[in-house]
Amino acid sequence: MALFQKQPITQNQPLYTISGGKSLLVIGLGNPVKKYAGTRHNIGFMVVDEFAKANDFAAWHLNKSLKSEISLANLGQSRVILAKPQTFVNKSGEAVQAVQHFYKVGNSETLVIYDELALPFGQLRTRLGGSDAGHNGVKSLISHIGEDFGRLRIGISSELADKSDAEKFVLARFSKAEQVSLTKILGEANTLITEYVFSGQLPHDTRTII
């Protein structure tokens, strides 16, 4: 059962035409090629896919001009745009800038979800603004739209990370043991997104669920 009552809308309908409502942009970072599906670097894609499924969003639609897959729904008093940039992680800023411009959404209404090697697996952290912390996708975002956007960082670090090259580690799939806990992590991420949609605010928060 969906958390909210869905109201059908068309994929190319600009969100700024809504009277009295607000538009929120929720972006999951990841790499679009099939071989990267299920990898640590694609946790952002996993989160927005799960959120879309749980809340009966419209089917994902590839918008070539926005360099993104887009899915839309009305949730509560907000209209929510979900986006998955198709530029590969390191060029995510190009797509996000295009999506923001088309839908007239600013950084204060934007939440970006991505993997964070500096946080342990099972920990999630939200905040507004900050540096790229070595994440090339976030570095691209900052170069295109500035740093004052909302972030939901999903921890992926583990003992395996200490034994591996960082690039190989983030592009590898989750271990079997980690996969058992992914459902809890995705569920908590969806809870955080839901709270953001309802309140329109993103607190500085850390949650450890494993």
Which residues have C-beta within 8 Å of that of residue 23, sequence separation ≥ 6?
Answer: 15, 16, 78, 79, 80, 81, 103, 104, 105, 109
Catalytic residues: 41
Q: Do residues 91 and 140 make contact, with C-beta atoms less than 8 angstroms apart?
A: yes
Handedness of CA 159, 164, 170, 175 (dihedral sign): negative
User: How many beta carbons lie within 10 A of that of residue 202, not counting itself?
Assistant: 19
**Angle at which helices 43-54 and 176-199 pack, to 10 degrees?**
60
> E strands, the chain, where?
22-28, 61-63, 68-75, 78-85, 110-120, 123-128, 150-157, 205-208
DSSP count for the chain of H helices, then E strands:
6, 8
Q: Do residues 202 and 127 make contact, with C-beta atoms less than 8 angstroms apart?
A: yes
Compute the CA torsion angle 116, 103, 201, 49 (nearest 10 deg).
Answer: -50
